[in-house]
Amino acid sequence: MEPSISRFGASRGTQPARRSVAINPARNITVIFTTEEGTVAALRSAADLAVRLDARVTLAVPDVVPQQRPLSEPTFPVRQLEQRSLRVVADSGIRGAEVRVQIWLCRDLRKCLRQILNLHSLVVLGGRIGWWLSPEQKLQRWLAGLGHHVILADVRAQTCRELLPTSQRQAVLGGTLRAINE
């Protein structure tokens, strides 16, 4: 069974359309597409967390369309973005029905993420963790600064247990469980 796919464009040219149904952030884990390798690691981590938290996983795929192009004509055709997203979900080993894919066409990544994420969302990113800040680590810091609970899954990890540093797992799970119980 394939995951459900939703497509969203911009309503006024610079901002993504708002979703019509609000998702309880305590029961939803949002994985933001970074790279194919990073997103596979993030989906694996999110699947593990979803079981523990009885939550749903949403794969948000923001696609930044350059100003020179109309939003209706992104750099990559939407169908190609859908196929890539489905391939990444399949590569992660998660059953497709457990993941909802949302493709967002936007002009600015940060503005897009501000609009699509609910307050205090649980967000999982995948990327390389190292001494020098990677783009994913910078995004993690920025999202955490907005008040989101953010986990960065290391793409070099061999097992699900290694994907999340223990300190991050305990901090995010503890905070999320408190939010659910309140």
Contacts of 24 (CB under 8 A, 6+ apart): none
- Say what the pLDDT of residue 17 is: 40
The reported pLDDT for the residue numbered 51 is 86
Paired tokens of 34: 């970074």
Query: For residue 21, what pLDDT is reported?
Result: 38
Residue 83 is encoded by which pair of tokens? Answer: 């196929």
Q: What is the pLDDT of residue 72?
A: 86
Please state the length of the chain: 182
Domain enclosing residue 110, as ranges: 4-181
Number of independent structural domains in the chain: 1
Tell me which H or E stretch contains 31. strand 28-32
Per-residue confidence (pLDDT) for residue 178, from 0 to 100:
57
CATH number at residue 106: 3.40.50.620
| Below-50 pLDDT ranges, the chain | 1, 10-24, 181
**Structure tokens belonging to residue 109:** 């990544």
